[in-house]
Amino acid sequence: MKEKSFDQEEVLLHITDEELESRLVIIRKQLEDLSAASRKFVPNDLPEYELVENKTFKSWIICNEILQASERNRDFARLLYYLYDKSEQDINRVLSFYDIEFKKDEKNQIVGVELISYE
């Protein structure tokens, strides 16, 4: 049996910490604005089973999860900047690289979410 080898291009991100931090401020502000705008369209009385199907709710959660991860994890923040740059500074395109999976308990109640990256 022959092994297939794939050529992978490694892209290095050459940016100083100061440049990265200043760009992350811009990205995080866009995420905060988008999160606030999304939250306005999620009804407060939506039952939990409908929340998992509501695209606006999912978008709101994804924004918040990306924002929190970028603040906690420096490598994630660098990846976020890379995706933002790659997507021509379109925050909505950046969000399209992510999804979430709801974690539920034995009673089918939401107990957490996991951010999933497609990039």
Res 92: pLDDT = 93
Residue 61 lies in a domain: yes
Quick one: which of 36, 67, 39 has its CA closest to 51? Answer: 39
C-beta of residue 27 within 8 angstroms of C-beta of residue 81? yes
Residue 27 lies in a domain: yes
Residue 2 lies in a domain: no
pLDDT tens digits for range 86-107: 999 999 999 999 999 999 999 8
Alpha-carbon dihedral angle through residues 67, 73, 77, 78, given to the nearest 10 degrees: -170
Residue 28 lies in a domain: yes
Q: Is 35 exposed, middle or buried (0-12, 13-18, 19+ CB in 10 A)?
A: middle
pLDDT tens digits for range 64-74: 999 999 999 99
Res 95: pLDDT = 93
The total number of structural domains that make up the chain: 1
pLDDT tens digits for range 27-82: 999 999 999 999 999 988 888 888 888 899 999 999 999 999 999 999 999 999 99
Residue 76 lies in a domain: yes
Residue 1 lies in a domain: no
Q: Please give the span between the terminal C-alpha atoms of the chain, in angstroms, as a whole number.
A: 30
Residue 9 lies in a domain: no
Question: What is the rounded average pLDDT for all residues in the chain?
Answer: 87
Structural element, H or E, at residue 110:
strand 110-117
Res 90: pLDDT = 95
SS3 99: strand
Domain range for 37: 18-117
**pTM score:** 0.81
**Whole-angstrom distance, CA of residue 79 vs CA of residue 94:** 10
**Whole-angstrom distance, CA of residue 83 vs CA of residue 68:** 16
